[in-house]
Amino acid sequence: SARSAAPPMHASSSTGPLEPKASWPSAPDRRVDQLVCVIEEQRRATSALRRALDACREELEALRSCLSDAGVLRPTTFLVQLQRSRFAAVRAAHPLVIEAHFDDALGITDIALAVGRYGGTAAVRAFAGVSRALGASLGKAWPEIRAHCPPNVYVCGGHDGAEFRRSV
């Protein structure tokens, strides 16, 4: 290397000329050289792994094409299964622990009121059958729901047996 061509010089005890340093190369210099060698080795190993990965990808794509051409594997089916597999791996790596349940989320009176207002009394009755807790929450909100959804029947038009009605 360029360093070994010209060893470092140091001043002697007198004011005379510089003399070669006796301990060339120094310990820190040897350590740097070792690290450079390790980095080069890792670079070569990484390059080899990249080439192997590229070859595997190429072979996988060829195999998928063969299976697709033979009618054994549809590309969409493969992608769906791949997504499911990836999603399962993420869920396994990051499990979600939920203490709340459907009953807890819909047990809030304001939500029960919204279900009643927009869904009507029939929807409230059907929804109350989903769970006891939900039924209890809807039961508390029932008077206000009935006030917003009166059980009235409106008839528009019709026939009275003699003539057709065209007005309300």
For 36-93, write each residue's pLDDT tens digit.
999 999 999 999 999 999 999 999 999 999 999 999 999 999 999 999 999 999 999 9
**Boundaries of every domain in the chain:** 28-93, 102-148
User: 76's torsion region: left (phi>0), alpha (psi -120 to 50) or beta?
Assistant: alpha
pLDDT of residue 39: 95
The more confidently predicted of residues 151 and 70 is 70
The neighbour count for residue 146, using CB atoms within 10 Å, is 13
Q: Which residues contact 167 (CB under 8 A, 6 or more apart)?
A: 157
Q: Is the pTM of this model over 0.85?
A: no
* pLDDT for the residue numbered 85: 97
Instruction: Output the average pLDDT for the chain.
Output: 78
Tell me: pLDDT of 12 over 60: no
